[in-house]
Chain A
Amino acid sequence: MDFDAIVIGGGHAGIEASLALARLDFSTLLITQNIDTIGKLSCNPAVGGLSKGNIVREIDALGGEMAHLIDHTMIQFRMLNKSRGPAVQAPRAQADKFAYSALAKYTLEHQKNLHLFQDTVTDFILSSDSHSIEGVITERNMRFTARAVVLTTGTFMEGRIFIGPYSKVSGRIGEPAAEGLGVSLRRMGFDVGRLKTGTPARVKKSSLDYDKMEMQPGDEEVLQFSFFGEKVVRPKVPCWITYTNEKTHQIIRDNFHRSPLFSGMIVGTGPRYCPSIEDKVKRFPDRPRHQIFVEPEGLESEEMYLNGISSSLPEEVQNQFLHTLPGLEHVEVVRPGYAVEYDYLNPLQLYPSLMTKRLKGLFIAGQTNGTSGYEEAGCQGLMAGINAAMYLQGKSPLVLSRTEAYIGVLIDDLVTLGTKEPYRMFTSRAEHRLSLRHDTADFRLLEKGYEAGLVCDEIHQQFVEKRTKIDEVKELLIQRHLGAKELEKVEQEELVSTLRHHIGKTFDQIIRDPEVRLDQLLSLDPSIGDGVRKEWLDQIELDLKYDGYIARQERQNSRVERMEKLRIPEGFDYDAVESLSAESRLKFKQVLPATLGQASRISGVRTSDIAILMIHLGKKNGSTAD
């Protein structure tokens, strides 16, 4: 074998997969169509957001790279949804796209065991029995062998872009698609479908009138995504807000017939949560306006990104309606918006390890599995990389549960339910979201990253210290009682009247009162929080305040965990279980669930069939009469 592993594609999934494999000491080849587009942010110039910011921090806790990349290249930071509760707060940062991509390339180039090569993979080399993968063949007819291959093609596999009547085989505008691979996969029997996504126009910064738009600055206080990364000071650049109006909508309506979306040229399903402007105007005719964010693409770039107005209408139509937006009267378009349609693989064909059921050693990650978003892609790349490494060592895969990570929710949804539209993470997809706060990702996952070998000793040590410190503070809060005399020293009257009800209680009990803040209590006894970082104190406060709700979710979690422990052996013969209903049997055979828990989440499976499975599994495990 030429290498231990090959990663196809240099996007957000490919970066994480190749770094994980190389860092776990496997000689790894990353093949990408263009070395200069590694880590490109193809769509919006931002990383993070609701649930996505949590995923970035989960990647960091497991030893992935995305958090470092954004920490070093952000040009604005915001903590979203501060007013709506801790479980759904999340960090988001505007990225300098060019710096981000350059840093990603630099990081890969300097990684030991990792080799980069520019070419396009068109086919696979299989073992003689066709059950395992053994390598890849490229467009230029190069052959590389390896026991594990991670496929991360993004929008490039048989990609085609659309702008009005114009259409071209392309993965991104100006970049050729990866042709041949989709055909090979179909030939091998994979279920391949088409999805669609879109991106808005980029316009010239100096052609805009900023007086007519609202400025949207970032937060003063910046929280880095990486838990233990070095502190970085980054510039802060604002974004701008403008709105569409009736004129804009009229132009769009007049040209509906020229949209490839409505004319039937595009067959792939697009994301409902991120509709194009023509979709918004068509589906919500009563809305007088739609909000548009104008975001810088980078510090050194003249390009601005128009978030909220993606379109595949003809260029002259795009030009016309953009001019109706306040501030964009004299707009100069640098790149038009377009739609892109691409091949994806039905993720029901994967095990929770992200290895295909059909071909041993072939792992698939990212947009190829029907997801959308950099963060969704990155975390799959990381898990595919880790599990390819596990596969090479003959170890059992690392599968995260729904109760411990958004990553677990994402992969479980994909391999259990499949997807027919681009899958984006939402907090509402996670039934345990109160336990999946971004600030607890290290508590949830860092030990797993350490065990897998991706988190180094130094970081692990820092984590252990943090955990110890937090436990200490929590213990101190339990022991400390509020005395009547202490209140005499407090000056704020409101605080005194609130705290008066709590005399004699412990600080741990008092903090559960929604009206009381931890910093107020600590002002009575600063020694408790001495030398503890602010974000750790925030974490303690949230842990305690939401303890009741979290406990409630944890009871549900333990129920789920029990079901997850009941493993269904590989090769389990569903046909041998006579009493299963026909519908459930069919679904079990398609999904091949790894655990009873996963089986119970398949849509439309009956409780009675789960009970029957439980009985048969019990039988297999040999539990008989005492």
Chain B
Amino acid sequence: MKHGYDTEELIAALATPWGESALAVIRTSGTGSVEKIASIFKGNKDITKLPGYSLAFGMLRDGDKAVDQVVLGIYRAPKSYTGEDMVEIFCHGSLPGIQAVMELLHKAGFRDAQPGEFTLRSFLNGKVDLTKAEAVNELILSKSRQAQVLALDRLSGSIFDAIDRAKHLLADIMAAVEIQLDYAEDEADPAAGFDMDKLDQASDILSRLAATYQVGKLYKEGIRIALAGRTNAGKSKLFNLFLKEDRSIVSDIRGTTRDYIESSVAVKGIPAVLIDTAGLRTSSDPVEAEGIRRSNLVIENADIILYLVDGSEGLTPEDRTFIKEHPCIPLWNKTDIAREAAPDGFIPISAVTGAGFGELEELIYTKAMGNGRLDTGEAVIDSQRQKDLIERSLDAIGKVRIGMAAQMPLDVVAVDLEEAVDALGELTGEITSSDILENMFSHFCVGK
């Protein structure tokens, strides 16, 4: 079933850019939005009694837990941007904070607004004029196309495959159940039964996926940037340049950084965890050898690897091997004293003078934002929506189990089964009733 733009539902979206700032504004809209927010808000006034254009101050709460201190702007229909009741939430602008407020809103019954949806509602309620609406057309079109591409990108590879596999397992079960619902007892293929194994497999796949979700992995923890390179390539100097403070021991003696050091930084507003690794070389010192082993692990798990080459010494065979084997951004460091210019594909930089640092930051930013999820190799879900849908499916699978155990009638079990398939369908493509019929006819011999 297509959901699309349902104008009766409560929607929410961050209205300010996604990045660290002093304040962030989250906008919500829909009939009943004030009451809904009131249920998670404890403040100086009862907002359900407030007229439009008034402010309230207080705490957003998840049960007993305080989530954020906020100011609420109340708008009453039809005098609001969308023409519906609206609440604007002014909250603290830290990324984990915004994330927490959005999660609370989801829990309370708001869903993420789709691109252009506030404006769409505003148009449908007669709040914007026609010229503006034409612009909305373009907006919806371009954004949703981009969003479709993005959504596919996000799910590319292993996650898509895993979800799709679970979805098809469920669809197989559904076909076997539907056969029994669509043909009389004496006509249905005796081979059609309820396949509990398939249900277990599907729920295993989904449970594992759901467990990989780390709340706002990218944003809460930040992207993981590892600095790698031979010893004395200037990693710690670059690390400090990022930090703009002396956290790492910077010395000219090789092998000073025996373990790895990490620190949170912001790269053009995007939170990142910067990790300075031990220099890559074999060592007989057991302590240093352990440091190198750990460094390798860190490098394997990083979202972005910055590989530093000492430009004053040139490329060594070790450097060539590393660059060949790892997806990384190769840096040509020490341009202030290097004898040759950076080879093709290398970013010239000087960790001492800071030359080229701006370009590097730009590149990291593009990499982090441009493709949505960074390729970490492991299948990890990173959006609240993916997690919600997978959990909705798991929840429905649980109900199917209960229904089967309690010997509930099949037509009722089928409702939950359909829910389980539909939730995944929103991630990897809808399964229609004709797909199910197709599955039925190809797997089972039916018909008098």
Contacts and interface: CB of A to CB of B under 8 A. Distances in A.
A247 interface: no
Contacts of A606: 144, 148
A433 interface: yes
B127 interface: yes
B412 interface: yes
B180 interface: yes
B113 to A, nearest CB: 12
B136 interface: yes
A624 B130 contact: yes
Nearest to B1: A431
Chain B: interface residue count, which band?
35 or more
Contact of B123 (A83, A601, A615): A615
Interface in A256-306: 271-275, 280, 283-284, 287, 290-291, 293
B5 to A, nearest CB: 5
A181 B129 CA distance: 53
A619 B183 contact: no
B447 interface: yes
Contacts of A600: 2, 4
Nearest to B141: A579
A611 B4 contact: yes
Interface stretch (B31-39, B271-279, B285-293, B431-439): B431-439
A496 interface: no
Chain A: interface residue count, which band?
35 or more
A81 B4 contact: no
B144 A607 contact: yes
A449 interface: no
A253 interface: no
Nearest to A274: B447
A556 B8 CA distance: 12
B150 to A, nearest CB: 13
Given A603-B432, A612-B137, A614-B120, A283 B415 contact: no
B448 A428 contact: no
Contacts of B2: 600-601, 607
Interface stretch (B243-251, B376-384, B403-411): B403-411
A84 B123 contact: no
B416 to A, nearest CB: 9
B338 interface: no
Contacts of B436: 428
Contacts of B445: 275, 280, 283-284, 287, 290
Contact of B4 (A51, A607, A618): A607
Interface stretch (A86-94, A116-124, A340-348): A86-94
Contact of A549 (B127, B136, B412, B441): B412
A395 interface: no
Contacts of B326: none
B185 interface: yes
Interface of A is mostly: mixed
Nearest to B83: A626
A127 interface: no
A428 B181 contact: yes
B374 interface: no
Contacts of B127: 625-626
Contacts of B120: 611, 614-615
Given A284-B445, A546-B412, A80 B184 contact: yes
Nearest to A281: B445
Nearest to A46: B448
B411 A80 contact: no
B259 interface: no
Contact of B5 (A87, A287, A610, A626): A610
Interface string B102-116: 000000000000101
A608 B411 contact: no
Contacts of B184: 49-50, 78, 80-81, 92
A283 B2 CA distance: 34
A562 interface: yes
B126 interface: yes
Interface string B422-444: 00000000001110110001000
Contact of B411 (A85, A280, A308): A85
Interface in A295-327: 307-308
Contact of A625 (B116, B126, B138, B409): B126
Among all A-B residue pairs, the 7 with the closest Cβ atoms: A85-B409, A85-B411, A608-B144, A272-B441, A87-B411, A274-B447, A80-B184
5 contacts: A434-B415, A552-B415, A578-B137, A608-B140, A619-B133
Given A86-B411, A600-B4, A612-B140, 14 more contacts: A78-B184, A83-B185, A84-B409, A84-B411, A87-B412, A88-B181, A273-B441, A275-B447, A431-B1, A549-B415, A552-B415, A600-B2, A608-B144, A618-B124
